[in-house]
Structure 1
Amino acid sequence: MSAPESSTTPARKRRSKVKVTPARVQELLTRNWSAGLAALRDRHGLPVLPSVPADPPPDGAEITLASYNVHKCVGTDRRFDPARIARVIAEIGPDILAVQEADRRFGRRIGLLDMVALQEAGLSMVQCSRLPDGHGWHGNALLVRQGTALEVQRLSLPGAEPRGAVIVEMELPGGRLRVVGAHFGLLKRCRTRQSAAILEAIGRRPTMPTIMMGDLNEWRPGRRSSLRSLEPLFGGGASFGPASFPSRLPIFALDRILGWPQGMLREVQAHDSPLARVASDHLPLKARMVLSRAAAGQSVAEAA
């Protein structure tokens, strides 16, 4: 005669009957990521809010700036979708846009952006590529809503891997503006040399308000930052900015929008939308500026 069944269900069997729904899994993952993000920021002293706060609107025409590493138009879902990138850019509505990874990296470096959609959004390409079907220089492209490019300088940056920057001096309705678009390397020692190369290049140019935008691949603030040499010119925002990577749950501040004279930028922040979280592995950065505020009291060379 068999032993009577126990009225108590074993713990292992009880656990196996617990139903774990996808919503519950997502809740646990979000909670763990949020706790991990808070701990990471506390450990490294990273600010939660953008490093450049908003201030009262000044006089003059406002310009919207944006910088976007588009990951060769391949999203976090591994789909190549230039039209989706164009829709994210249209969400921002920039007047000046710096794009990184706008071209194929290997072979013939043809452009990857959906220029028809971007033109419909009111943006035109500044000719930075030396190829008729290219969009940028080492993947760095520049698009503008209005204005005339007076001079385009293609700069090869020093380092262990091919990197570059474009320096474009423009005539805008509010005056002249220099725009630097750059994509720095993965090694700290290379980023330090690349920062110095940018400063040297713009220090030789005429004095004018200057914007620097791009994926500078540095998330460490303060003394550990490879971008400290940019601080005398661009201020503390050079060392740290809004978190932009990875796009699905941004933790690292790899991207920058910087301005000289200091104080000309307002509301530097990541553009975080459902579409932006899937279109690329970086969120775009956006900022506002008024060109009439940028009255230079010293030369760029003196500030640097």
Structure 2
Amino acid sequence: MKTIRVASYNIRKAIGTDRRRIPERVLEVLAEVDADIIALQEADRRFGVRSAAIPAAMLDRQSDYKSVPINVQVDSMGWHGNAILVRKAADVGAHDVVHIPYLEPRGATMAEVSVKGVSMRVFGMHLDLSGLWRRKQAAAVIHAAAQGNAMPTVLMGDLNEWSANRGCLADFARHYSFAGCGRSYHAQRPVARLDRIMHCGKLTLTDCGVHESAAARKASDHLPIWADFKI
């Protein structure tokens, strides 16, 4: 049995709670969390050429991570801001964007990753502010996850769902188990569980939580969440 740590983090385009864009702080937080696979949201700037919030050279030079090569747009890290980071030693197999219906630009990403001798599939997402569209998007992600091979699967991201167990949460719960990580938004005074990690029955959850360091409270308006699984 191997232990794999996954994490999800809305980095708000590397703009901290002090309204300063400092990507180095995000890398500091990622090093603290020390996950093997990370789903990022708002990983690209919103306007213009939508360049990566964390420059590729900085990520390579100052972290133990590499981004899954979505290759949708030059200089971007992800797809509609969704990116997946993995250890530099990890192997990335099949990977793709997941097209979901949207009112405002939204998307999801998928990657098959081998790390520590274990292979698993990861979906990252950032769902809509509208409850109706969140449910449509959840259905699209659930459908995408049901396709292909039967690898152990984790779905994670910023679901933007304020209810405790309704809406898209109920839809996901019919297929996946939730890691009860805790409240992750707002970073300075967490009141809501907007960020979620879900998993299939082939994974055994051993621990999970919200990373609440001093650095994390400054680096973004969301705190990162994490979960440890035995495979």
TM-score, length basis structure 1:
0.71
- Aligned CA RMSD, in angstroms, stands at 1.7
The answer on whether the counterparts of 1:168 and 1:178 sit within 8 Å (CA) in structure 2 is: yes
Amino acid at match of 1:269: G
**Superposition map of 1:32-111 within 5 A:** 60-111=1-52
Higher relative contact order (CA 8 A, sep 6+): 2
Count how many residue pairs are aligned between Structure 1 and Structure 2: 229
Are residues 1:278 and 2:218 paired? Answer: yes
Structure 1, unpaired ranges of 5+: 1-59, 292-304
Q: Is 1:269 aligned to 2:206, yes or no?
A: no
Structure number with bigger Rg: 1
Tell me whether 1:123 sits opposite 2:65 in the alignment: yes
Q: Deviations over 1:107-159 (max 9, x none)?
A: 21211114445433311111024223110011011111132221112112112
Question: Are 1:227 and 2:173 counterparts?
Answer: no
Note the C-alpha offset of 1:269: 1.0
1:113 and 2:54 aligned? yes
Whose strand fraction is larger, Structure 1's or Structure 2's? 2
- C-alpha displacement at 1:213, in angstroms? 1.2
Indicate the percent of aligned positions where both proteins have the same amino acid: 39
Rounded Cα–Cα distance in structure 2 between residues aligned with 1:219 and 1:288: 24
Structure 2 counterparts to residues 111-190 of structure 1, below 5 A: 111-119=52-60, 120-145=62-87, 146-190=89-133
Contact 2:176 2:198 in 1 (8 A): yes
Task: Report the Cα distance in structure 2 between the residues aligned to 1:225 and 1:250, rounded to whole angstroms.
Answer: 21
Letter in 2 for 1:252: A
Q: Select the structure that is richer in helix.
A: 1
Provide TM-score, normalisation by structure 2.
Answer: 0.93
Quick one: distance in 1 between partners of 2:109 and 2:170? 21
Is this contact kept in 2: 1:178–1:211, CA < 8 A?
yes
- Which of 218, 227, 240 is the equivalent residue of 2:161? 218
